[in-house]
Amino acid sequence: MVGHITGAIGARGLSDWRHERVILVAEALFGGFYVTVTRSLFIVMLSYNDFTLSEISIVVFFSAVTGAFLSYVLYNRPNLISGRMKPKLLGVHFAERIFWMSLPFMIWDWRLTSLAYAAAVCVSVVVGTLINSVIMSIPNEGRTKYIFSRRSAVSSASALLAGFFMSAVLAIFPSIDGYFIAYLSAGFTGLTSTALLIFLNVPEVQVPEKPRPKLDIEAETTTTFLFLSIMFTGGGLIGIAWIPYLKYLGAPSYLAGLLSFFGSLGGILGSYLLTTYGRHRVAVLLNTAITFLIPFIAMPQFHPVLSFLMSASFVGANLMALSIYSSYVKELGASRASVMISAATLIGTAMASIAGMLLRSPLLLLILAGAFKAVAALLVIIAIPETTLLSKPMALGYARLIRSISIFSYTLMMETSRQAIVLLIRIVAMAVIVMLMYLIYKLAFLLC
């Protein structure tokens, strides 16, 4: 598959590379504004419409599980998004904007909201997979890293504008009308990025049979997937708990806006500075340390600085995973490499949602986030060859061990689940038989 892509893109030369670079970065600029508004306001909009915490958690969890299942399907059947990629990219890119624009019209019932939000998330999974596939298929790892870093930077910059826009709209229209205006405006801005993709050169991709990467590559990609899933779990927990914790500390309401503002600034800086594997390792360690600091800094005015450092370092962690998967496109295929990134994000969201439903204390959730990120940092140090502090053979040995444990755990979990389901069916069947026998004896007694 990659041979078809690289040959098609490489033949177009340097001028076409610059053309594609401009389009992909511009798409992220307009798309970043749309994504920031529609994603940031969703939970706030549900809270404003009197959704309970349990209902919100169910909505988020259902969407994450649905999206993760779709990622599993796409990983095993990449032909669904291969072939003539451009019509598919334009179609789902347009549909995604429509789905997210429609969410304010679906919030009158939490069940309908769950279905609509899950559909929007699933379409977003496909869009992200296709966009990343196009970028990863560029036959030059340096150019791939360049596009990912620049897209991250302009997305953070547009997030700043989106923050000002959301604050202004909700200040002028404090009722539900403000959310309608914000979503529709963001949606039409997002459609601008869809229009830009019309001019993007996307080659036709033919997918061969599922490749069998070498054991070391499978071990490293599995370890990277675990790392990214754990990092996003920690990030999701911070997203759930940080604002409630600041409220507990008595922070003023405007501080939440400052967290977002400084976080966007950090995202811009991190995209430019954290571009090598050595810096990626430092970014993960710094992100972990900051996460542990959050619950122990009782002065809210210092938290925007933490948000700045947190966002900058998290960008570095994300770029590390993108760089690793980009380097194994030939072995995995661009579609499968992209799907693994989307799946890790959704698994992290689902795990954070479960923890949010079980643990109601913001302090406990923040401490748990630090624990998750400490595990992720340990993987970076000992089990990922590009960032390890050990020798590469030793890191690959740990990666193979982690892969074996993961496969064993997955097999054990599936077998245990299967046996539990069989046992449940037998118990239900036995209960039905007992009830039928009771009814028969009761009926016979009445007839006699």
Q: Give me the pLDDT at residue 8, please.
A: 41
Q: Give me the pLDDT at residue 186, please.
A: 92
Domain count, the chain: 2
Lowest mean pLDDT among 235-239, 274-278, 352-356, 414-418: 414-418
Q: Is the pLDDT of residue 134 over 60?
A: yes
440 lies in some domain? no
Mind listing the pLDDT tens digit for each residue in 45-64? Answer: 887 777 776 777 788 888 88
Instruction: Let me know whether 174 and 248 are in one domain.
Output: no
Q: Give me the pLDDT at residue 215, please.
A: 66
Q: Give me the pLDDT at residue 183, please.
A: 92
Q: Is the pLDDT of residue 353 over 70?
A: yes
Q: Is the pLDDT of residue 191 over 90?
A: yes
Lowest mean pLDDT among 133-137, 196-200, 308-312: 133-137
323 lies in some domain? yes
Q: Give me the pLDDT at residue 206, please.
A: 55
77 lies in some domain? yes
Q: Which residues are 78's β-sheet partners?
A: none
Lowest mean pLDDT among 349-353, 401-405, 438-442: 438-442
Is 429 exposed, middle or buried (CB count within 10 Å of its CB: 0-12, 13-18, 19+)? exposed
* 102 residue type, one letter: S
Helix/strand/coil for 202: coil
Task: Work out the average pLDDT over 184-195.
Answer: 93
Range of the domain at 138: 1-150+157-205
302 lies in some domain? yes
Mind listing the pLDDT tens digit for each residue in 217-255? Answer: 777 888 888 899 999 999 988 988 888 888 888 887 677
* Encoded tokens for 50: 């009197």
Instruction: Let me know whether 5 and 146 are in one domain.
Output: yes
121 lies in some domain? yes
Smallest CA-to-CA distance from 288 within 246, 238, 355 is with 238
**CB 137 within 8 Å of CB 2:** yes
Instruction: Let me know whether 183 and 256 are in one domain.
Output: no
Q: Is the pLDDT of residue 416 over 70?
A: no
Indicate which CATH number applies to the domain containing 140: 1.20.1250.20
Lowest mean pLDDT among 56-65, 304-313, 319-328, 437-446: 437-446
Q: Give me the pLDDT at residue 213, please.
A: 55
Instruction: Let me know whether 16 and 133 are in one domain.
Output: yes
- DSSP letter assigned to residue 306: H
Instruction: Let me know whether 226 and 370 are in one domain.
Output: yes
Give the count of beta carbons closer than 10 Å to the beta carbon of residue 163. Answer: 21
Helix residue ranges per DSSP H, 274-391:
277-293, 303-327, 329-332, 334-358, 362-382
Instruction: Let me know whether 129 and 191 are in one domain.
Output: yes
Lowest mean pLDDT among 88-92, 195-199, 314-318, 393-397: 393-397
Q: What's the whole-number average pLDDT of the chain?
A: 82
* 318 residue type, one letter: N
Q: Is the pLDDT of residue 120 over 90?
A: yes
Mind listing the pLDDT tens digit for each residue in 354-408? Answer: 888 788 788 899 999 999 999 999 999 998 888 888 888 888 888 888 877 766 6
Q: Give me the pLDDT at residue 420, please.
A: 66
- Quote the Cα angle for 6-9-14, to 5°: 125
356 lies in some domain? yes
190 lies in some domain? yes
Instruction: Let me know whether 189 and 280 are in one domain.
Output: no
* Encoded tokens for 134: 């196009």
* 162-171, 197-206, 207-216 — most confident range: 162-171
Please report, rounded to a whole number, the percentage of residues in the chain having pLDDT higher than 70.
85
Lowest mean pLDDT among 262-266, 342-346, 397-401, 403-407: 403-407
447 lies in some domain? no
Lowest mean pLDDT among 81-90, 114-123, 385-394: 81-90
* 445 residue type, one letter: F
Instruction: Let me know whether 361 and 223 are in one domain.
Output: yes
Q: Give me the pLDDT at residue 11, please.
A: 44
442/249: higher pLDDT: 249
- Banded model confidence at residue 138, pLDDT cuts 50, 70, 90: confident
Task: Work out the average pLDDT over 272-285.
Answer: 88
120/208: higher pLDDT: 120
Indicate which CATH number applies to the domain containing 383: 1.20.1250
* 25-29, 174-178, 334-338 — most confident range: 25-29
Lowest mean pLDDT among 87-101, 297-311, 388-402: 388-402
**CB 163 within 8 Å of CB 257:** yes
- Quote the Cα angle for 60-66-71, to 5°: 125
Q: Give me the pLDDT at residue 6, please.
A: 41
- Banded model confidence at residue 410, pLDDT cuts 50, 70, 90: low
Please report, rounded to a whole number, the percentage of residues in the chain having pLDDT higher than 90.
24
Instruction: Let me know whether 252 and 200 are in one domain.
Output: no
Instruction: Let me know whether 328 and 358 are in one domain.
Output: yes
Q: Is the pLDDT of residue 190 over 80?
A: yes
Instruction: Let me know whether 411 and 358 are in one domain.
Output: yes
Instruction: Let me know whether 331 and 243 are in one domain.
Output: yes
Four-CA torsion 209, 215, 220, 224, nearest 10 degrees: 50
